[in-house]
Amino acid sequence: MLKVHIESFNYSDQEVLKQLRFAIDTNQHLAVLGESGSGKSTLLHLIYGLLELPNGKITYAGKQLGGPSEKLVPGHEFMKLLSQEFDIMPFTTVAENIGSYLTSQDMLADAKRIDALLEVVDLVDYKQEYVKNLSGGQKQRVGLAKALANTPEVLLLDEPFSHIDLLRKTKLRRRLFAYLKENNIGCIYATHDSEEALAFSDKILLLGKNGEQELFDSPEKVYNGVKTAYQASFFGEANDLRPWWPKDEKRWYYPEQLEVSDVQSDIRGIVKKSYFKGSYYLLEVDVEHGTLYVQNKKAIPENSTVFIIAR
């Protein structure tokens, strides 16, 4: 089990992280969700041992993990960190990049390993291409394959799909996280993509604006357990229904949890816009206390009066 306890971490006089306490099993996947500047990358660097942690403790399998003052070469052998710089060699081929982390003691086994990882990151056709000729997204995938070369026990990823187009990203995420599960590789990845966090993680750590721990739990419990506007904002146009239902402990409702009613209800509003979303429309409805967003199967004409209920 990986356990993280951070009382505080500062860069000079600026506090970046504070009051973090969580633990995950070694084969679990943790999404660190937060806006830019919330300390996601710093957390990964602390776990990997690139930064000193004077006010806290990080342990793995019961052993405390130290920082750069304790090791000549910072980092931990059983982990790999893929930062946003990718750590690749531009003037060598894709295969040579991946192979640079292998032992070269068994050339046939290394070749099979490289081919298997090229399949995972969908770069089979670029095996002999020089990395300098690749796009940003392709370079990111080379870095990902390289980080997996020696089968780490824990993989740390910093915005691992940020340079990859949506079509390729969807396929890659499915392949990657399935591969990690099949090989019992734990993963902690920083992201600002809530859909990615909900779909592919076992746990979500939601960081606040000042680097504090807002929520830590399963994707389902985090999604349904938001308590503030900040927390709810990560998962779409969440609606605060306290003005109508002050005793409702849930408080926040997502558009798909509300619907237009054929009968009168407590919430009455005027449709201002119907946004086409493919399989549904997102209605923007002006109500007494502001604006609500409601998912609906069809568009509703502007200025129509509607009643809203919870599903």
Do 152 and 224 sit in the same domain of this protein? yes
Which CATH number is 224's domain given? 3.40.50.300
Do 212 and 251 sit in the same domain of this protein? no
Q: What is the pLDDT of residues 64-91, one digit of tens each?
A: 999 998 887 888 989 999 987 777 888 9
If residue 30 lies in a helix (H) or strand (E), which one and from where to where? strand 29-33
Do 172 and 256 sit in the same domain of this protein? no
Q: What is the pLDDT of residue 256?
A: 94
**Helix H segments across the chain?**
40-48, 94-99, 107-120, 136-148, 166-182, 194-200, 219-224, 229-233
Q: What is the pLDDT of residues 277-299, one digit of tens each?
A: 999 999 999 999 999 999 999 99
Do 51 and 175 sit in the same domain of this protein? yes
Do 53 and 141 sit in the same domain of this protein? yes
Q: Residue 249: is its pLDDT beyond 80?
A: no
Q: What is the pLDDT of residue 26?
A: 84
- Contact of 189 with 40, CB cutoff 8 Å: no
Q: Which of 230, 257, 284 is the last residue of a domain?
A: 230
Do 197 and 249 sit in the same domain of this protein? no
Spatial separation of the C-alpha atoms in residues 239 and 309, rounded to whole Å: 12
Structural domains in the chain (count): 2
Do 147 and 275 sit in the same domain of this protein? no
Which CATH number is 280's domain given? 2.40.50.140
Q: Which one, of 91, 75, 73, lies nearest residue 83 by Cα?
A: 75
Do 137 and 283 sit in the same domain of this protein? no
- Contact of 131 with 99, CB cutoff 8 Å: no
pLDDT band at 13 (very low <50, low <70, confident <90, very high): confident
- Contact of 17 with 57, CB cutoff 8 Å: no
Q: Which of 168, 202, 230 is the last residue of a domain?
A: 230
Q: Which of 203, 230, 257 is the last residue of a domain?
A: 230
- Residue 303: give the domain boundaries: 236-310
Q: What is the pLDDT of residues 112-171, one digit of tens each?
A: 999 999 999 999 999 999 999 999 889 999 999 999 998 999 999 999 888 888 888 989
Give the up-direction half-sphere exposure of residue 272: CA atoms within 13 A in the CB hemisphere: 10
The amino acid occupying position 66 is G
Q: Which two tokens stand for residue 12?
A: 């000079």
Q: What is the pLDDT of residue 265?
A: 94
Do 216 and 252 sit in the same domain of this protein? no
Do 27 and 127 sit in the same domain of this protein? yes
Q: Residue 46: is its pLDDT beyond 80?
A: yes
CB atoms within 10 A of CB 272: 13
Q: Residue 215: is its pLDDT beyond 80?
A: yes
Do 191 and 297 sit in the same domain of this protein? no
Do 130 and 260 sit in the same domain of this protein? no
